[in-house]
Chain A
Amino acid sequence: MADNVYDAIVIGSGISGGWAAKELTEKGLKTIMLERGRNVEHIKDYHANKDTWEYPHRGGRTKQMEKDYPVLKRDYPLNEKNLDFWVNEKESPYTEVKRFDWYRGYHVGGRSLMWGRQSYRFSDLDFEANIKDGHGTDWPIRYADIAPWYSYAEKWAGISGNRDGLDVLPDGDFLPAMDFNVVEKDLAARLQKEYNGKRHFIMGRTANITRPHHGRVNCQYQNQCWLGCNFGAYFSTQSSTLPPAVATGNLTLRPFSIVTRILYDKDTQKATGVEIVDAETNQTYEFHAKVIFVCASAFNSTWVLMNSATDVWEGGLGSSSGELGHNAMDHHFRCGASGTVEGYEDKYIFGRRPTGLYVPRFVNVPGDDKKRDYVRGFGYQGAASRGRWSGEVAEMSVGGDWKDAMLEPGSWSVGFGAFGEILPYHENRIYLDKDKKDKWGLPVLAMDMEIKDNELKMRPDMMDEMKDMLEKIGVKNVSTYDSIYGFGQGIHEMGTARMGTDSKNSVLNKHNQVWDAKNVFVTDGAAMTSGACVNPSLTYMALTARAVDFAVSELKKGNL
């Protein structure tokens, strides 16, 4: 048994788990990181070397793939190029009480390998949102509590961006931003002028490094991040948090380790360790430690807590408040506006930039005079670009002249898609479906959540505001779109084990510590008390580093 004793256990190896492992090992704790899936080795297991023409279907999807991946096929993730980065849906099913799209990555690095890399700080507008409009419960922290940890995370992860000086989107410790293209630059200037400096097209802040950074090579503008980057130019567990953790000599990484439950001791009211099933051998093992970090991705972290039910906590570890599994969130999107830009025919783009423009939230913020019939707000991601000519004209749509025309760049276009906040509704929840089992005989999650009136009222504005902006700055042929959002499609699952001010209203305290078991910390998306409208991963990094700092100081004081 002694072999199975560590100072700390980290469940999960994605963005949050990787950070937990790095911080714990650097602070001297012997740590085991348990990952349910296979190992993915940096560079060796990536797909960046392979060209499109080397794939039999050129990266597309086959009918067999659609059959095997009924969820993935609902959006872009189902493709031939990085299929092995996505979960096997047959082995790991779940129950959709209502439609829920769950895009998972069960392997070392988790979704840090495929993530969108947009990295934004929450502001006090976000941390105070719940208390001000009465939806959800109050965050137990404010911006000042997390700001130093945002800096800490940014400095290691490497976030490129400009310091734009906007209250709604606090600046960070950035590497130099990527460049605007010529059209974006002009449109951004016109927007500033039209809206008297109240609205902005800023460069997307992204976890792609723009100069060498902690031994990693800067971005080479291939924009193939989700195949894995041989340069380590975007943040992932493999490129950024795993190497320093390994370097301490304190880390044990164990792939194929599905944590089935956290072992809880009633007398001490603490966890003693975890039980796992080996995904390859089906053998059960126990690991013991003084402190446990649950970073299995939002809903799977909550699954681990729920599946750790005892006679003390029948609803699972951390269920005393009645909030475990509740207040599930995502970002709703897939609507926006686009149009064409005249001129600039003597300008083109060299290189493929792995980020675009960002439009920080401008609705329901100080200075927004318009009355809105919804609370909270949205931001936009988009870009201007010059694609290939692909026009279908009646006179010419086959033959050599047509082909030659298609080999030239077309006109410039610009488009933006909005990402909106979803309120933390208590009734949006997940729970264990004990009637359905996965490949290992474990109960699966049932998803029961939907967007409601507030989000539905926000969506027309998400289209119309952009349409107005684009038209005001001279974009032509502006049209809006709403391609219908399925809950989960944002791949920003949040909530279900929220932080709060009191053990009666939340699962976690202000240090991400489970109220009911103080040596258990949950620091991924599960912890979120509200979702804001910005991409959430940077906040998980900051919360994780902050929680480890607290946990280790408590350990030293003998409080855990």
Chain B
Amino acid sequence: MNRREAIQRVAMLIGGSVIGANLFLEGCTRPATKEVAVLFEKDTMNFLGDLAEAILPETSTPGAKEAGVGEFIPVMIRDCYDPQDQKAFLEGLDGVDERSKKEFGKKFQELSKDEQLQFVNMLDKEAKEFQKERGQKQSELAEDAEPLPNHFFHMLKQITLTGFFTSEVGMTKALRYVKIPGKYDGNYPYKKGERAFAP
């Protein structure tokens, strides 16, 4: 089953019945629906890792891919997002290559680093615009109304940031991590360029 089929199934599940939606959420560890399970396929995680890497690339410190963000995203989408957001994420992800072809004539993973950066920059701007409108629309709905879906890239970027800065690589190799500081110095010298301490 490809992602497009998967999305249609999610749509049916959500639109189908309330009972379906409840079943969807039950269980101790949340079982991935077949649709979300696609995210755990090796190729997809690799693809997600490349997208995340474009957002937080390797510089003098490791990037999002090395930090395992590609593997982290499926876990978060499966366990921490509502069905309407899962659907939006899968749809958005499904459209990445098509969009990339339209803008650059190549699939995302075939783009140069510069082109990838341009591409995610473009999505970022669109996502920001989308989120602004979403907020406006949501505020016009009743207070207990179902949340409207978020933009695919908005979610991707949030999870990438969280995933990177809470990963072992992010905390210990990008930031400075001192597990047991042993003391407090609130007058500690700092020189521009030195990295921040991990929380």
Q: Which of A's residues lie within 8 Å of B, judged by CB? A: 51-53, 56-64, 67, 178-185, 220-222, 345-353, 388-389, 397-400, 403-404, 407-409
Contact = CB atoms under 8 A, between A and B. Distances in A.
Given A52-B171, A399-B117, A408-B195, A350 B61 contact: no
A350 B79 contact: no
B115 to A, nearest CB: 12
B59 A400 contact: yes
Interface of B: 25, 27-30, 54-61, 63, 72, 75-76, 79-82, 117, 120-121, 124, 157, 162-163, 166-168, 171, 174-175, 178-197, 199
Contacts of A408: 192-196
Given A52-B166, A221-B182, A404-B59, A57 B187 contact: no
A49 to B, nearest CB: 9
A180 B187 CA distance: 9
A399 B55 contact: yes
Contacts of B57: 399-400, 403
Nearest to B80: A62
10 contacts: A51-B171, A57-B75, A57-B79, A185-B186, A349-B186, A351-B185, A352-B181, A398-B124, A399-B55, A403-B61
Contacts, number: 142
Given A60-B80, A398-B157, 11 more contacts: A52-B171, A62-B79, A63-B25, A181-B187, A347-B190, A348-B189, A349-B186, A350-B197, A352-B199, A398-B124, A407-B61
Contacts of A399: 54-55, 57, 117, 120-121
B159 to A, nearest CB: 10
A52 B196 CA distance: 17
Which of B75, B157, B190 is the most central at the interface, judged by chain A CB atoms within 10 Å of its CB?
B190
Given A63-B79, A64-B79, A408-B195, A180 B54 contact: no
B75 to A, nearest CB: 6
Given A67-B25, A398-B120, A399-B55, A221 B183 contact: yes
A204 B29 CA distance: 40
A81 to B, nearest CB: 11
B188 A347 contact: yes
Given A62-B79, A407-B195, A408-B195, A222 B25 contact: no
Given A63-B30, A64-B79, A348-B190, A407 B196 contact: yes
Given A58-B162, A403-B57, A408-B196, A347 B180 contact: no
A409 B195 CA distance: 7
B186 A180 contact: yes
A67 B199 CA distance: 28
Given A60-B162, A398-B55, A398-B124, A349 B185 contact: yes
A346 B189 contact: yes
A181 B188 CA distance: 9
A350 B82 contact: no
A184 B186 CA distance: 9
Given A399-B117, A400-B59, A350 B179 contact: no
Contacts of A404: 59-61
Nearest to A64: B30
A221 B181 contact: yes
A57 B76 contact: yes
Contacts of B193: 408
A58 B182 contact: no
Contacts of A345: 190, 192
Given A388-B196, A398-B54, A404-B60, A220 B189 contact: no
Contacts of B182: 220-221, 351
Contacts of B117: 398-400
A204 to B, nearest CB: 13
A63 B181 contact: no
Contacts of A52: 166, 171
A181 B194 CA distance: 19
Given A51-B179, A181-B187, A347-B189, A57 B59 contact: no
A233 B194 CA distance: 31
Which of B63, B120, B184, B189 is the most central at the interface, judged by chain A CB atoms within 10 Å of its CB?
B184
Contacts of B180: 220, 222
Contacts of B167: 53, 58
B190 A179 contact: no
A389 B174 CA distance: 14
Contacts of A56: 75, 79
Contacts of B190: 345-348, 409
Contacts of B189: 346-348
